[in-house]
Amino acid sequence: MGKRFKVIFMGTPEFAVPSLIALKNYECEISLVITRPDQPKGRGRKMLSPPVKSAAEKTGCPIFQTNMLKSEDFYEKIHRLSPDLLVVVAFGHIIPKRILELPRYGAINVHASLLPKYRGPAPIQWAIINGDSETGVTTMLMDAGLDTGELLLTSQVSIQPEDTAETLRDRLALIGADLLIDTIKKMEDGGIRPISQNHAQATYAPLLTKQDGYIDWTKSADQIERLIRGVTPWPGAFTFLNNKRIRIFKAKIQDEHTVKRPGSILKGFSNQLWVATGNGILSILEVQADSGKRLPIHVFLRGTPVPPDTMLT
């Protein structure tokens, strides 16, 4: 192909930004960046732009914000632009079939798992929570289903013992951007062959809710430690100390055992907080009270002593 594809890009969160920048650097003609509307955030309910909007503004790409993907106006807008390719990276909505059929070469999705494993909106978080040793990124041709389209390219990544959903997301975002450009290069050269997914092997990664961060101390120390990493930074792992919510950001499994009731604070040094679980002991390293700052545990305990046999619930 003598020229780059004419692309419409659809994406919303931080994960999608490296792919947008990679397309710009590859000198694709980005005729439009579509992202979701600004949203009120935090206690002040200040309106914040999606990360993709901020990135598109910096790169000079035209921007359109909408949630109305089924409207006639949206369809006509895409139709008038006559794109060669639609690139979708974590947009946050199902794309209607008639939109997917408009681009000359179809629609590519960059998905943060090794499909068909972890279809759905939260593949990074569930890979950590479930204790997987590896994950990756897949590019696929989109169809009307949820992450059910034909596979194009994949790239595998090891999940490190200290990975949180945030650190793994950032790593996969960069790998996904490279994989996207490799995919487009092969499409331009006619050297890529889509492969159907094995739907019998598919698993689903549902969207996390705030309640998914609640710590059940009857689970094992290993399970709880993975949960803490998998829900960081959102929705965040939490428990209750004296009926007050405490967020836990980091913990370490201790190679010791106890017969104490799960959730019990164990006797130990004044600058440590060890908790009994359903199987094993977890040392809490970083916490945040509801109205406080994120603190190392020794600093937190100076202002909030927690005696042995106190229960986390």
Cα separation, 237 vs 212, whole angstroms:
8
Task: Inform me whether the pLDDT recorded for 291 exceeds 90.
Answer: no
Average pLDDT over residues 167-180: 98
CATH topology of domain 210-303: Methionyl-tRNA Fmet Formyltransferase; Chain A, domain 2 (3.10.25)
C-beta separation of 123 from 147 below 8 A: no
pLDDT at 1: 44
CA-nearest of 65, 206, 75, 208 to 146 is: 206
Residues 20-36 pLDDT 10s:
999 999 989 999 999 99
Q: Does domain 6-201 have CATH number 3.40.50.170?
A: yes
Residues 254-276 pLDDT 10s:
999 999 999 999 998 989 999 99
Cα separation, 116 vs 150, whole angstroms:
10
Cα separation, 79 vs 156, whole angstroms:
36
Distances in whole angstroms, Cα of residue 116 to Cα of each of 89, 106, 261: 17, 20, 40
- Give the model's confidence band at 191: pLDDT under 50 very low, under 70 low, under 90 confident, else very high: confident
Which helix (H) or strand (E) is 30 found in, with range? strand 29-35
**What is the overall mean pLDDT for the chain?**
96
- Give the model's confidence band at 306: pLDDT under 50 very low, under 70 low, under 90 confident, else very high: very high
> Which residue's entry shows tokens 């408009």?
102
Rg, the chain, Cα only: 23
Cα separation, 107 vs 147, whole angstroms:
12
Cα separation, 172 vs 118, whole angstroms:
14
Cα separation, 265 vs 261, whole angstroms:
9
- Give the model's confidence band at 64: pLDDT under 50 very low, under 70 low, under 90 confident, else very high: very high
C-beta separation of 164 from 232 below 8 A: yes
By percentage, how much of the chain surpasses pLDDT 90? 93
Comma-separated ranges of CATH 3.40.50.170 domains in the chain: 6-201
By percentage, how much of the chain surpasses pLDDT 70? 99
pLDDT at 2: 46
Comma-separated ranges of CATH 3.10.25.10 domains in the chain: 210-303
C-beta separation of 110 from 87 below 8 A: yes
pLDDT at 4: 83
Average pLDDT over residues 193-198: 97
Cα separation, 221 vs 276, whole angstroms:
8
Task: Inform me whether the pLDDT recorded for 233 exceeds 50.
Answer: yes
